[in-house]
Amino acid sequence: FSDMDEKKIIINIGRQLGSGGREIARLLANDLGYKFYDKELLYLAAKESGFSEKVFEKNDEQKGFLRSLLCMHAPHIGDNSFYKSDFSQESLFLFQSDAIKKAATNGACVFVGRCADYVLREYDNVINIFITADMKQRIDRVIKRHNCDDVMACKIINSQENERASYYNYYTGQKWGYAENYDLCINSSILGIEGTVAFIRDFIKSRQCNLF
């Protein structure tokens, strides 16, 4: 994969809640020696914008204006009048998009969610992947993560996925999880976490010749 790294392959991974998508993305990044960006993007966006990282955390992959900040005055941010005059989730999305583009320019990496596939749609070195899983496994993972019963796990999945889908659909004009928006859609229940990572690695290797 050394040649791929030199050419700065960018992998964007969308995922259903409880699919193991984040773990798969992290393991894939480790295996390939790529940088990994999940919540790290919130730190980068905060650093670029001058806003608190908590501002981005509270609105992470959620659509709508920032209710908690309506009474706050936005700090002076450079010379960009748009950011100063329109302090909304839209402006936070732009800060995050800028952070994604900057990270993508710096080297090979794996992004998790946050519309990175759309933000980098004009890049020619991108592979977009969506990960799903059987509902039982998804529920089991959420139960373990949140220490709750299966009824609450289903509510968490439905609630968070609705927010994630609304966020993605709103900012991209595309449909979250819709197969034609991705290069590969895979059910992690079939091969397991490690097997899915290995499968994606092989897929990336087969795709590299078509990217450059």
DSSP code per residue over 62-84: --S--GGGTTSPPPP-TT-HHHH
Which pLDDT score, from 0 to 100, does residue 71 have? 36
Which pLDDT score, from 0 to 100, does residue 40 have? 67
Which pLDDT score, from 0 to 100, does residue 109 have? 93
Low pLDDT (below 70) residues in the chain: 1-7, 40-89, 209-212
Q: Walk across the sheet containing 126-132 and list its strands.
A: 35-37, 109-112, 10-15, 126-132, 184-187
The CA distances from residue 199 to 96, 100, 116, 187, 203, in Å, are 30, 25, 22, 11, 6
Contacts of 94 (CB under 8 A, 6+ apart): 82, 83
Which pLDDT score, from 0 to 100, does residue 207 have? 79
> What are 98-128's pLDDT values in tens digits?
889 988 998 899 999 889 999 999 998 999 9
User: What pTM was computed for the model?
Assistant: 0.79
Cα(149)–Cα(174) distance, rounded to whole angstroms?
33
Which pLDDT score, from 0 to 100, does residue 77 have? 39
> What are 73-91's pLDDT values in tens digits?
444 334 444 343 345 667 7
